[in-house]
């Protein structure tokens, strides 16, 4: 339904309301209005039933970009329909070609994973880039991964770091972690910067990301990029070990042997406090 059709519909609703001489719509007008809002992607009142599969399909066939994306998602997951990856990609593509970033990202994933299409890193990079340039954090992160690995594009760690940072600035935890690793190791043509590594490890650790907890613990234990603090390191290792990180468990045990009883008791107390909900 294009905007001219929408305006014509609204004119009809207003006319019906005037003819009825009442302050509410007729039942028919209410149903039609709710369907219009669904097709345009708006949320209706809680009492309104979810759109049927046929309504979603009809909206998708009429060019509604959100309906096209949602239909692709349903076929991709086999949700309320038989799973059909080729059909999922067909609907993703319709929405992606209209510039819908979630559909562009979904199509990029299909190409990188070879789901319903031949695996193609170049096509994946193309669609991830379109979505990334519109600010979609997970597309920015995945595009960063492709540049980091040289998959579908020439390997370019500085460019990977730039895309990681865009996603990291939006709070995308995997991007924060990967960016920290780049800075800690000074990979590619990116200069080593332990201060930046600590900064991004901390942001990921604040989201309880297990690898960031461990790596940040190592930096505190060694005094690299931060003032050496074995109690802080022990607390971070404890958090990561509680999630099953085997190296963190080993490093925690190493610190337990190194620290005196008073220091160890303090570290254990802080670790317990940190792990409390």
d(CA 195, CA 213): 16
Q: Which two tokens stand for residue 18?
A: 């005037």
d(CA 28, CA 13): 10
Query: What pLDDT, on the 0 to 100 scale, is given for residue 182?
Result: 98
Query: What pLDDT, on the 0 to 100 scale, is given for residue 49?
Result: 60
Per-residue pLDDT tens over the stretch 162-185: 999 999 999 999 999 999 999 999
Residues 34-71 as b/e (b if ≥16 CB within 10 A, e otherwise) read: bbbebbeeeebeeeeeebeeeebbbbbeeebbbbbbbb
Positions in the chain short of pLDDT 50: 1-48
d(CA 126, CA 244): 37
Query: What pLDDT, on the 0 to 100 scale, is given for residue 273?
Result: 82
| Alpha-helical segments (H) within the chain | 3-20, 27-39, 53-61, 65-77, 85-96, 101-113, 121-132, 137-149, 157-168, 173-185, 194-205, 210-222, 230-242, 246-258, 261-275
Which positions ≥6 away from 119 have C-beta within 8 Å? 111, 112, 113
d(CA 251, CA 214): 9
Query: What pLDDT, on the 0 to 100 scale, is given for residue 251?
Result: 95
d(CA 215, CA 115): 34
Residue 183: exposure state from Cβ atoms within 10 A (0-12, 13-18, ≥19): buried
In contact, 104 and 130? CB cutoff 8 Å: yes
Query: What pLDDT, on the 0 to 100 scale, is given for residue 41?
Result: 44
d(CA 96, CA 162): 24
Which positions ≥6 away from 31 have C-beta within 8 Å? none
What predicted TM-score, i.e. pTM, was given to this entire model? 0.79
Q: Dihedral through CA 122, CA 127, CA 130, CA 133, nearest 10?
A: -80
Cα Rg for the chain, rounded, in angstroms?
A: 26
Q: Phi/psi zone of residue 41: left (φ > 0), alpha (ψ -120 to 50 degrees), beta? A: left
Can you tell me whether residue 142 is helix, strand or coil? helix
Query: What pLDDT, on the 0 to 100 scale, is given for residue 276?
Result: 66
First to last CA, the chain: 49
Per-residue pLDDT tens over the stretch 43-81: 333 334 678 889 999 999 999 999 999 999 999 999 999
């Amino acid at each position: 339904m294009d905007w001219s059709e929408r305006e014509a519909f609204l004119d009809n609703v207003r006319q019906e309301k005037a003819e009825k001489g009442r302050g509410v719509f007729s039942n028919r007008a209410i149903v039609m209005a709710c369907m219009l809002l669904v097709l345009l992607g708006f949320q209706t009142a809680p009492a309104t039933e979810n759109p049927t599969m046929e309504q979603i399909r009809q909206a998708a066939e009429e060019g509604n970009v959100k309906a096209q994306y949602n239909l692709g998602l349903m076929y991709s997951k086999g949700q309320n329909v038989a799973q059909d990856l080729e059909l999922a990609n067909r609907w993703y593509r319709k929405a992606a070609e209209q510039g819908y970033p979630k559909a562009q990202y979904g199509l990029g994933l299909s190409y990188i994973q070879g789901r319903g299409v031949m695996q193609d890193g170049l096509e994946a990079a193309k669609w991830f880039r379109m979505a990334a340039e519109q600010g979609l954090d997970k597309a920015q992160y995945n595009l960063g991964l492709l540049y980091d690995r040289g998959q579908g594009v020439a390997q370019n760690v500085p460019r990977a770091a730039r895309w990681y940072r865009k996603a990291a600035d939006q709070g995308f935890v995997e991007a924060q972690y990967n960016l920290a690793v780049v800075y800690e190791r000074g990979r590619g043509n990116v200069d080593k910067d332990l201060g930046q590594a600590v900064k991004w490890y901390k942001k990921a650790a604040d989201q309880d990301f297990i690898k960031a907890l461990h790596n940040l613990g190592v930096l505190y234990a060694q005094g690299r990029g931060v003032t050496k603090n074995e109690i802080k390191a022990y607390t971070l290792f404890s958090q990561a070990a509680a999630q099953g990180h085997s190296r963190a468990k080993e490093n925690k045990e190493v610190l337990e042997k190194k620290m005196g009883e008073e220091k160890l008791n303090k570290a254990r107390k802080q670790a317990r406090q940190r792990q409390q909900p």
